[in-house]
Amino acid sequence: MNLIQKKIYFSVFRFFKMAPILKLFFCPKKTGVRCLLLHRINLDDLAPLRRLLKKMDDSFGFISPADFFAYLRGDKMLVGSKLLLTFDDGFKSDRIVADQILKELGINAVFFVCPKIVEAADKVSPEFKRIVQNNVFNGIEPSLLTTKDYDFMNWEDLKALANDGHTIGSHTWTHQRLSSIKDVNELRAEVAASRIDLETKLNIKVNCFSYPFGNNQSINALAYEIMVKHYDYCFTGLRGVNTVSVRPHHLFRDKIEIEAGDEFNLNILEGMMDWYYWLKKRELNKISGDELSAGRNQG
């Protein structure tokens, strides 16, 4: 969604807030969990991020990854809307946010990382730069990247996060767009071998996965088939609330845009963007074969 579309949605949602009946119809309150998505955080944004997370915590309340997974299994009850914080890519700024903000607020998050990038984070070799340029930044012109764009967490950072109670998940082996991989063995390595490496290096259990870029164009049926075999949960980049009936491999996330301001992000948590993603969610069902499976089960 581009900036103009976001401004239109924002204006319409403001109208809904002035007309409670319309808001109740288009954005009904649901008991569930909204998973928030963050990537690299500019150090200048630490203070605004802390303020925003505090407001979100006061309004909704954050839960831990363990409680979220227990809710999805039906082992834990929730009242109202709650929040779960997640980070993709494994930038060094994530560790700074964890140490300087999350620890103070008592928030435990999920950090999705790519083992190959973690392994090379301290070396900044030509291969490492190529992976970052082509995979993380989707083939961007190298001259547009700065030193901070190559600043990723290493194994010691991840061990520290795990020791502080955070959850580590897989974000593939090298951050490739899974739908672009034609070789099935390479696809298995990106999805499955990444989990094994994380578990071996960190001595933890890895049960959750998020695929790079998070949209429907970045995933296909074969990638989903492999992912379902190796992970209990998969996080997408589609916005929405996760109710108890959500498919555990179709978990929705709302990207937080600090520069858009507190009001914009808080309105997202009230469902401002959900309608836009309704058809995208149905498309994801078809990609993963869930509708076909449901039809066979009903038959």
270: pLDDT confidence band, cut at 50, 70 and 90? confident
pLDDT in tens, 85-109: 999 999 999 999 999 999 999 999 9
Q: State the chain's mean pLDDT as an integer.
A: 89
Q: Which residue has the higher pLDDT, 250 or 23?
A: 250
CATH of domain 29-294: 3.20.20.370
pLDDT in tens, 18-43: 545 455 555 556 789 999 999 999 99
pLDDT at 7 over 90: no
Q: Which residue has the higher pLDDT, 125 or 107?
A: 107
273: pLDDT confidence band, cut at 50, 70 and 90? confident
Domain boundary assignment for the chain: 29-294
Tell me the angle at which helices 262-269 and 46-59 cross, rounded to the nearest 10 degrees: 40
Residue type for 229, please? K
10: pLDDT confidence band, cut at 50, 70 and 90? low
Instruction: State the pTM of this model.
Output: 0.90
